[in-house]
Chains A and B, each alone.
Chain A
């Protein structure tokens, strides 16, 4: 008797006189001796059922697909690379090592800018290291900031950080426009820095505004203390010139030659640090002129006062 993987009838004839093939129904005339209880087959069907061949198209199809798979895997090597960098970046983000995660995630975005996961991880790492530019670029490169699931927890988290950062930047820009009202500008900048502490430049700017307030109030000790703090935390041409300015003020007020010497030294350092930066050198050259006047005359003028007294006269002469 035959059993089937699916229901299908198979007839069996066991007559000794007229033996028919159970498969094709042809009479079996080759002297085949049937086995009791088992189906009988003609010679051609017997060959077939004992070794059913794999169709040629099946064999070729499988070989073809395996070759194509090889091609796809070679062609898709970059996807494995992108996946590797994305998961490495993901792990680092989970461990709150955002600065280390960012290079990996940027690599992923080169290959998969439309991956929600990669973009959100990159934006999160960038925003939490104060790098709004990278975060913005990641969003722009991803369907102009459109995501599949606006209720996804990851999306909502990154969205909240982005909005916080944008608000802080708006406050910082507003502070920058309050040129005359140093105290108000300082207050706003401190708010911006508190709102987005991940961006150190906001805090540095807030300290700088504090220095401006101290200068305005003629509190040169505070001005110097703030400048020293800025120099210690981020030594660059800007903080060096800030130190030079504060030291120049202290010399102007006290007459202590050590302040003058240090002011000149800091200005020299500022020029060394600004080498190659045309914009920075331009600013330094402008400041150097005013600082020189401050050290020689021991008169402290704001930039506006100096411009009004000396530069507008020069412009008039020209």
Chain B
């Protein structure tokens, strides 16, 4: 296992950082939360941020926090459609495919919400889950899993996730459909 500093990884996969913050921004705007500041990318820690007002609306907080997970995953799958076959299975050297391979994986690698994002949910969810809020009930195990995956980034869990959703998943689906 080799270690590469976070800022270097962020620089190499900067589209993922931009999409991650854009997803936060999108859901903040959707739920009409005030946004105080946005940085799509910078060389630092964190490599991007969206500062917004809090909300008592759990649905809003859920989507604001988890937005990057859904949006980044979706775009990872979308962009990797141009790459998963030529790059992974067919070993064809196509620059365009390799570009989308990098782009899709970069976006996929930044799917995980930050621990700050998840802690916001973790604070609100248990009480609401007890009251029967379905979204709160779903968010607890999901948030728990994502916290673990977040820490597992040191062993490239983020890259593994990107490959799983962007490449292995589509290959399995394509194979099943074709066969």
Contact = CB atoms under 8 A, between A and B. Distances in A.
A6 B49 contact: yes
Interface string A86-106: 111011000000000000000
B25 A54 contact: yes
Nearest to A142: B91
A210 B24 CA distance: 81
Contacts of B91: 112, 114-116
A1 B54 CA distance: 8
Contact of A3 (B90, B92, B96, B120): B120
A80 B38 CA distance: 40
B1 interface: no
B128 interface: no
Which secondary structure dominates where chain A touches chain B? helix
A73 to B, nearest CB: 6
B130 interface: no
A86 to B, nearest CB: 7
B9 interface: no
Interface string B48-79: 01111110000000001000000000000011
A38 B53 CA distance: 9
A162 B28 CA distance: 62
B162 to A, nearest CB: 17
Nearest to B104: A69
B2 interface: no
A3 B34 contact: no
B81 interface: yes
A79 B22 contact: no
Nearest to B93: A114
A86 B89 CA distance: 10
B85 A82 contact: yes
A5 B103 contact: no
Contacts of B49: 4-6, 8
B37 A8 contact: yes
A76 B97 contact: yes
Contacts of B38: 52
B51 A4 contact: yes
Given A54-B25, A76-B85, A4 B90 contact: no
Given A72-B100, A80-B85, A3 B178 contact: no
Interface in A192-210: none
A7 interface: yes
Interface centre among B86, B94, B175 (most CB of A within 10 A): B86
Contact of B89 (A39, A65, A69, A117): A117
B96 A75 contact: yes
Given A69-B79, A80-B85, A87-B175, A58 B18 contact: yes
A121 to B, nearest CB: 11
Contacts of B22: 54, 58
Contact of B40 (A58, A71, A116): A58
Contacts of B24: 5
A23 interface: yes
A278 interface: no
Given A10-B36, A88-B178, A115-B91, A5 B82 contact: no
Interface of B: 18, 22, 24-25, 28-29, 32, 34-38, 40, 46, 49-54, 64, 78-79, 81-82, 85-86, 89-94, 96-97, 100, 103, 114, 116-117, 120, 174-175, 178-179
25 contacts: A2-B51, A3-B120, A4-B51, A5-B24, A5-B50, A6-B49, A6-B116, A23-B36, A39-B34, A49-B34, A49-B35, A49-B36, A51-B29, A54-B25, A58-B40, A72-B82, A79-B86, A79-B90, A79-B92, A82-B85, A82-B90, A83-B90, A87-B174, A115-B90, A117-B89
Interface of A: 1-8, 10, 22-23, 38-39, 48-52, 54-55, 58, 65, 68-69, 71-73, 75-76, 79-80, 82-84, 86-88, 90-91, 108, 111-112, 114-118
